[in-house]
Chain A
Amino acid sequence: MAKKVVVIGGGIAGMESSAYLAEMGYDVTLLEKENSLGGHLRNWERLFPTMRLGQEVLDFLKLGIETKVNVIRNANILKINRIDKRFQIELERGASFNADALLITTGYDLFDATKKEEYGYGIYDNVITSAELEKMFMEGKSILTPTGKIPKKIGLIHCVGSRDEKVGHVYCSKVCCVTAVKQAIELKEKLSAVEIYCFYMDMRMYGMHFESLYKEAQEKHAINFIRGRLSEACENQDQSILIKVEDTLAGRPLKLSVDLLVLMVGFIPSKGTKEIGKLMELEFGTNGFYKTKDQHTLTNVSNIPGVFFAGSCTGPKTITNTVTDARAAVTTVASYLEGYNLEIRTKAFFQ
């Protein structure tokens, strides 16, 4: 009989790992707490660095799990019991599933920008998040500020909720810099007369084609990149937003009014990541994401034998990273189920 794997979380990592595991002959059940699959991918119109539609990647992922994966939607997990080497997962509605291995793909949530009160989100109408801007792109309507103006000047603020001890997230969210570049280009394409200012701490253009996208933003779209971190935003009488930064390359304070201020919100561990972690006593790292057994050599392995991780539940990842990580997790799960001792080499060298 085929060994059973239960995958928890139907985002990119969960879908792609389920597809590969099922193709390899395992009996795969994919549990998703919501009514639809795809997670955050459903909320992004175009993807960096290719500008491919998010929907196309979603369709690709759906095709992988169409026939061989048992997909359970609206699945709220009540209990996970470990009996010898097997797991029993009980859902709220009474259903239960057995598994020889568990793959956790519970992903991330976006940082709540109201926590950065000095940036004015939730206080001033014309301050929005990168996710809300993307929603405007998704809806395909003309770009207007929340107070109904065609924006002439737009500010994009990098690192909102990332690299910031004051909100308890000291890590880099990896995707926001390039998302800002992508969204700045899209805004410029939709509103040719607009002036766009990106305020960054460092431009972290680490991906293979990110740097050329950044250069395109400067060269073709004349987007302004100013090195400096927003100290505070306040509202002018006409409801435009006055922002203050230090232009650190000029060594001078700088102020600017913008019609629309977009906050590039970062990754935080998802609610599901926290809940499943507590339920199973999985180890968390210092940043609140799951802790992997070794940062170099056991990147998909948890502290519980037979429980594995994939995707952004272990830290911020791009879609490319997530797909790669999902397939790496599949190799790890399959090796475990075939009886390979995953930790022996790591123990010999590092523990």
Chain B
Amino acid sequence: MIDFGYKIQADRQINLDTTDKDLANFVRKHENSFNICIGCGTCTASCSAGNFTNFNFRKLQLFICRGEIADVKTEIAKCMLCGKCQLACPRGVNTRNVIMTIRKGLEEQL
């Protein structure tokens, strides 16, 4: 087959009608403070792991809410559970338990 050099770009749009919200609902059910994030990014700014990797807790939370969960498993492995984000969060999100609950949710769905 002749290669014309064309390729199809994947759609970057988040389609909220079809994405998988099961993990979000699982975390919401078991750790309600997951809901009260306001996306300020204090967690990410204070993150020890974020200094050395591209781990971003704010985005992780956001993408789980949007049902875009393909990368969650690899991303969440970067967290060292140091808990600095929990000390810093102005909204009182129980971030460590959010992480633990996400891990549990991923295990249960496997």
Q: A-side interface residues toward B, CB under 8 Å?
A: 197, 203, 215, 218-219, 222, 224-225, 227, 247, 249-250, 252-257
Docked CA distance A254–B66 (Å): 9
Bound together, the chains give a CA A227 to CA B38 distance in angstroms of: 10
Q: Interface residues of A: mostly helix, strand, loop or mixed? A: strand
Size of the B side of the interface (Cβ < 8 Å), in residues, is 22
A254 touches B35 (CB 8 A): no
Q: Is the CB of B35 within 8 A of A219?
A: yes
Q: Does B77 contact A (CB under 8 A)?
A: no
**Known contacts A215-B91, A222-B28; A254/B36 CB under 8 A:** no
Interface residue? B51 (CB, 8 A): no
Q: Is the CB of B32 within 8 A of A252?
A: no
Cα A255 to Cα B66 in complex, Å, equals 11
Other 12 A-B pairs with CB < 8 A, given A219-B36, A250-B14: A197-B16, A215-B36, A215-B91, A218-B37, A227-B39, A249-B59, A250-B68, A254-B14, A255-B14, A255-B15, A256-B15, A257-B17
B62 touches A250 (CB 8 A): yes
Kindly report which residue of chain A lies nearest to residue B59, judged by CB atoms.
A250
Residues of B within 8 A of A225 (CB): 38
A250 and B63 within 8 A (CB): yes
Chain A hits for B68, CB < 8 A = 250
Q: Closest CB of chain A to B91's CB: distance in Å?
A: 7
**Which chain B residue lies CB-closest to A248?**
B39
Residue B9 at the chain A interface, CB threshold 8 Å: no
The one of A219, A255, A257 that contacts B32, using a Cβ cutoff of 8 Å: A219
Q: In whole Å, how far is A244's beta carbon from the nearest beta carbon of chain B?
A: 8
**CB neighbors of A among B54-71 (8 A):** 58-59, 62-63, 65-66, 68
Chain A residues contacting B17 (CB-CB under 8 Å) are: 255-257
27 A-B pairs with C-beta separation under 8 A = A215-B36, A215-B91, A218-B36, A219-B32, A219-B35, A219-B36, A222-B28, A224-B65, A227-B39, A247-B66, A249-B39, A249-B59, A249-B62, A250-B14, A250-B59, A250-B62, A250-B63, A250-B68, A252-B14, A253-B13, A254-B13, A254-B14, A254-B15, A254-B66, A256-B15, A256-B16, A256-B17
